[in-house]
Structure 1
Amino acid sequence: MSTLSRRRAALAGVVAAVVALGAAEPVAVLTGPRSAPLVAVGGLVVDLVPEPLKQFAISVFGTYDKIALLIGTALLLAAFGALLGLAAVRRLAIGLAGIAAFAALGVAAALSRAGADAFDALPALVGGGLGALTLWAFVAGPLGADLPSAPPPAVAALAREGETPGGWEPARPDDAESRRRFLRGAGLLTGAAAVAGLGGHWLAGRRGVSTARDAVTLPAPAVPAPPLPAGADLSLSRLAPYVTPNREFYRIDTALVVPQVDPVTWRLRIHGRVRNPIELSFDDLLARPMVERYVTLACVSNEVGGDLIGNARWLGVPIKELLDEADPEDGADQVVGRAVDGWTCGTPTSVLRDGRDALLAVGMNGEPLPIRHGFPVRMVVPGLYGYVSACKWLTELELTSFADFDAYWVPRGWSAQGPIKTQSRIDTPRPRSRPAAGPVTVAGVAWAQHRGVRRVEVRVDGGPWQEATLAPAVSADTWVQWSWRWDATPGEHTLQVRATDATGETQTEQRAPVAPDGATGWHTVRVTVT
């Protein structure tokens, strides 16, 4: 096969893969976006990929890790399609078998998702069927006359024995008209698949719950949040604001497609090892007395100096009240929060009942929860990393025990219980910046949720620690801003920060990775003073 023909064969396989993916999207509008092969396979990758690779992806791509995964999955499927095209030219059955395997993987991935039913197999089946038809059209059908095929086995055997085979000639690969026909077909099919895929994605968005969210009117809190104390926000350039805007709040979860949960049909079950199981509708929840609190949430994947942390004003129902009504049985030391997509987190029952402001949140910074942050209901628990407490798109609270059930991240190597560690961060000056000599404001944030920050210290070039000025904070459940005036001299300098919490424990210098229970170490910034 000539180089040009190999390229066409590979392109034929890529087009077949694009058609399979694009055709599946409109079908997924009917069955749900999680059933689309690209998303379903991507979700399977999220579940099965080794933990170090997940952390690498988060460290490199941050909150864009899901987009990177979907793009990477699409590129891998395109490469797989190219190989199928090359194989199909030699033997069509091999290419078709590869397409069937692709469809089977999509079906298996879709059916493995929580709450899936038989209809979730349709996108992969329809996409696989049209992908196979496309591959046939290029290899053996009206679009494939320019792709030479391998000789039949009998002809090939004669050729190996030195005899001249008769009655068979390979197709001419360089005929100009066949090339034009091939390219026209490839262009039309790729364009149609793109329109179908993008159109399906658009229709899926139209079927979302934005309208339902816009119609929600949050009740006034029975217990409003305390007012922000004067000076809580230093309003310095590059310093994270005391209250994180919703659009800037970090998002880390396993959902490749944001779940669309209709508040009209939403139900919360509190069950398991309880004496009084409870089921609530969204209206039932809104009818209860609401508490409003500022709480800082942090992801366990946050590296030292990282930005996977944010502070918001949350409105919700105290979880303690609901658990008291459900009346947990003795030994039920874990509350498993379960999301609509099947993701689970395990929270100590004692933490949810110790009086802290653990909420079933329905509001965030004065508006209904953003869809990407858990609409209509999520958990917010001060003092615990999100992987053990902050379940979004919540549908169940199941009382069980740590001895009987491991939540999603525990079998993947993370600790069963994740109290947030005392940490601090330098926001300004930025690493590798070039501030002018003279007075320089060094500032950042520090946090030790549910304990509070007692002191923040900064040092330059390994010298003595200097105490920074703490801005006031609403409560021990939020981070605190800090600042320190530095008389900077020309040259390269290293700044470090450490915090001490209200119990008197100072964060350790020892560096530790995020796994299994959160990173440690002092944030270090190197600058050149000019």
Structure 2
Amino acid sequence: MVSLFGTGDKVALFVLMSVVLVAVAAGAGVLERRNPPYGALVFAAGGVLALLAVTTRSGSGTLDGAPTVAGIAAAVVVLRLLLQRLRRWEDARAVPTAGPGGAGAVARRSFIRWTVTSAALAVVVGGASRIGSASLQAAAAVRRAVRLPQPATPAPPVPSGASLDVEGITPYVTPNADFYRIDTALRVPAIDPADWSLTITGEVDEEVELTWDELLALPLEEHMATLSCVSNEVGGDLIGNALWLGYPIRSLLARARPRAGADMVLSRSIDGFTAGTPLDVLQDEGTDALLAVGMNGDPLPAEHGFPARLVVPGLFGYVSATKWVTELEVTRFSRAQGYWTPRGWSERGPVKLESRIDTPVDGVTVAVGDRVPIAGVAWQPHTGVKAVQVKVGDADWQDAELADSVSADTWRQWVLRWTATKGRHEIQVRAVGADGEVQTSVQRPPAPNGATGWHGVTITAS
């Protein structure tokens, strides 16, 4: 679903689930009419599967299965009632009664009224359960009331030269509402910070537990960092840059004192997701890995991990950026795996050197002689970008103008102003890392550890 629909994966998944459920329910109705009670047994079998899913998920409670049981019971009752009214209508048609107010018309109206009412109630109850639950509303109110402390170590101000005056280029700082979201949570966890805590367990000399109040009392730091998803295609938009507020993870690990031989930290989310991050990366003095509580000056949005998440520059999110995090288990790659590793993705995911053309967009037509800004962003967090080069058609690579950046952990904007010549032109871009690495032209898909290749667009000048 992610590869097909990107950040719309969850909406697409729910639409597909709804279509399948409607089809199954319709089939169960036909089966119940012809061979009772097999239609009801279809609902019962679905209920057993749903009950298993609910009761075996991370953090499930004793009564979490009650709504599923009640829902299936209601489905069977409604199925029986609708079929009773359908049979009355069919019986009445077999013995016609004159006039529009006859038994057949009454039975038909009764069946239609019950059908429409039950369908409407199902939509209302189902929708309300997802968007209007008391826990979600309470969590939203708690988040609005949170006041984050001022950072003990503020981030350096964003230089004016970090943003190029080019229409269509990606902004240097990604607004929270536009920041990509990829995770496995079908329902955003509703967490009251008063009930939240982080534990550090596993191969440590001293287990650590940290509450929300204790976390906010620590000397928090601000760092600008670009995060990206391993699912991002070449030229894709599953990437964003934000100002993060949090506490260094290396300082928390220092409290726990990991034992010799440990090489991985398995972070766990409240929704059951796990990520395996190299221990040495989290302990590195030069890596600003944070247990983050703030994003662009606000508490973390619920969709981005409120009350706390991990932010690790230089690693793809599937091995580092655990949202709604509740546990850090110090362990070994030989003993544990993160969520995505057994599903075919690499156990380690360093971000690759990448670049993207934001403008002009593919397929656009410009006028001959126009001064066309070819612009976009380039990134290799924790290493940095020292040059961006652009190739138009068969011409040589040209160095683009680079914008400033706060640190090597953030992307850089770039622009090359090109005078359009008549014809159809393929434009390509590549970046050069601060370590001298030149972005590879080899085209590879996102799996198993990130896409590679040069991004290109084709435009026409006429």
Q: How far apart, CA to CA, are the structure 2 residues paired with 1:296 and 1:210?
A: 26
How far did residue 457 of structure 1 move?
0.4
Residue 180 of structure 1, aligned match among 109, 120, 132: 109
Residue 411 of structure 1, aligned match among 342, 360, 363: 342
1:359-378 equivalent positions in 2, closer than 5 A: 359-378=290-309
Residues 428-459 of structure 1: CA distance to partner in whole angstroms, max 9, x if unpaired? 00111112222111000000110000111000
SS at match of 2:226: strand
Q: Say if 1:143 and 1:185, in contact at 8 Å, map to a contact too.
A: no
Q: How far apart, CA to CA, are the structure 2 residues paired with 1:452 and 1:110?
A: 44
Q: Extract unaligned runs of 5+ from structure 1.
A: 1-56, 149-168
User: Which residue number corresponds to residue 157 of structure 1?
Assistant: none
Cα distance change, pair 471–131 in 1 and its aligned pair in 2 (3 A): same
User: Which residue number corresponds to residue 281 of structure 1?
Assistant: 211
User: Which residue number corresponds to residue 198 of structure 1?
Assistant: 127
Q: Extract unaligned runs of 5+ from structure 2.
A: 97-102
Report the more deviating stretch, 491-500 or 461-470: 461-470
Q: Is 1:384 paired with 2:352?
A: no
Q: Is 1:254 paired with 2:189?
A: no
**TM-score normalised per structure 1:** 0.83
Q: Say if 1:492 and 1:529, in contact at 8 Å, map to a contact too.
A: yes
Q: Say if 1:300 and 1:385, in contact at 8 Å, map to a contact too.
A: yes
Q: Say if 1:92 and 1:136, in contact at 8 Å, map to a contact too.
A: no
User: Which residue number corresponds to residue 397 of structure 2?
Assistant: 465
Q: How far apart, CA to CA, are the structure 1 residues paired with 2:108 and 2:21?
A: 25
User: Which residue number corresponds to residue 7 of structure 1?
Assistant: none
1:390-401 equivalent positions in 2, closer than 5 A: 390-401=321-332
Q: How far apart, CA to CA, are the structure 2 residues paired with 1:529 and 1:98?
A: 61
User: Which residue number corresponds to residue 432 of structure 2?
Assistant: 500
Q: Is 1:127 paired with 2:71?
A: yes
SS at match of 1:209: helix
How far did residue 70 of structure 1 move?
0.8
Q: Say if 1:292 and 1:313, in contact at 8 Å, map to a contact too.
A: yes
Residue 489 of structure 1, aligned match among 411, 415, 421: 421
User: Which residue number corresponds to residue 358 of structure 1?
Assistant: 289
Q: Say if 2:400 and 2:416, in contact at 8 Å, map to a contact too.
A: yes
Q: How far apart, CA to CA, are the structure 1 residues paired with 2:95 and 2:270?
A: 56
Q: Say if 1:234 and 1:471, in contact at 8 Å, map to a contact too.
A: yes
Partner amino acid, structure 1, of 2:289: A
1:27-42 equivalent positions in 2, closer than 5 A: none
Q: Is 1:341 paired with 2:271?
A: yes
**TM-score normalised per structure 2:** 0.95
SS at match of 2:168: coil
Q: How far apart, CA to CA, are the structure 2 residues paired with 1:329 and 1:108?
A: 38
Q: How far apart, CA to CA, are the structure 2 residues paired with 1:407 and 1:423?
A: 25
How far did residue 202 of structure 1 move?
4.4
Q: Say if 1:270 and 1:279, in contact at 8 Å, map to a contact too.
A: yes
Partner amino acid, structure 1, of 2:114: G
Report the more deviating stretch, 385-394 or 453-462: 453-462
Cα distance change, pair 489–276 in 1 and its aligned pair in 2 (3 A): same
Residue 194 of structure 2, aligned match among 264, 277, 280: 264
How far did residue 171 of structure 1 move?
6.1
Number of equivalenced pairs: 453
User: Which residue number corresponds to residue 49 of structure 2?
Assistant: 105
Residue 356 of structure 2, aligned match among 425, 430, 453: 425
SS at match of 1:457: strand
Partner amino acid, structure 1, of 2:194: V
Q: Is 1:440 paired with 2:372?
A: yes
Q: How far apart, CA to CA, are the structure 2 residues paired with 1:197 and 1:66?
A: 16
Q: How far apart, CA to CA, are the structure 1 residues paired with 2:335 and 2:93?
A: 65
User: Which residue number corresponds to residue 523 of structure 1?
Assistant: 455
Residues 84-109 of structure 1: CA distance to partner in whole angstroms, max 9, x if unpaired? 11111111211011110111121011
Q: Say if 1:379 and 1:391, in contact at 8 Å, map to a contact too.
A: yes
Q: How far apart, CA to CA, are the structure 2 residues paired with 1:203 and 1:423?
A: 41
Q: How far apart, CA to CA, are the structure 2 residues paired with 1:399 and 1:188?
A: 54
Q: How far apart, CA to CA, are the structure 2 residues paired with 1:211 and 1:171?
A: 59
User: Which residue number corresponds to residue 242 of structure 1?
Assistant: 172
Q: Say if 1:376 and 1:393, in contact at 8 Å, map to a contact too.
A: yes
Q: How far apart, CA to CA, are the structure 2 residues paired with 1:193 and 1:77?
A: 12
Q: Is 1:145 paired with 2:74?
A: no
Partner amino acid, structure 2, of 1:290: L
Q: How far apart, CA to CA, are the structure 2 residues paired with 1:448 and 1:315?
A: 21
Q: How far apart, CA to CA, are the structure 2 residues paired with 1:225 and 1:485?
A: 32
Q: Say if 2:356 and 2:377, in contact at 8 Å, map to a contact too.
A: yes
Q: Is 1:79 paired with 2:28?
A: no
Q: How far apart, CA to CA, are the structure 2 residues paired with 1:195 and 1:406?
A: 40
RMSD: 1.7
Q: Say if 2:86 and 2:108, in contact at 8 Å, map to a contact too.
A: no
Q: How far apart, CA to CA, are the structure 1 residues paired with 2:354 and 2:423?
A: 28
Q: Percent identity?
A: 50
Partner amino acid, structure 2, of 1:286: L
Q: Is 1:207 paired with 2:108?
A: no
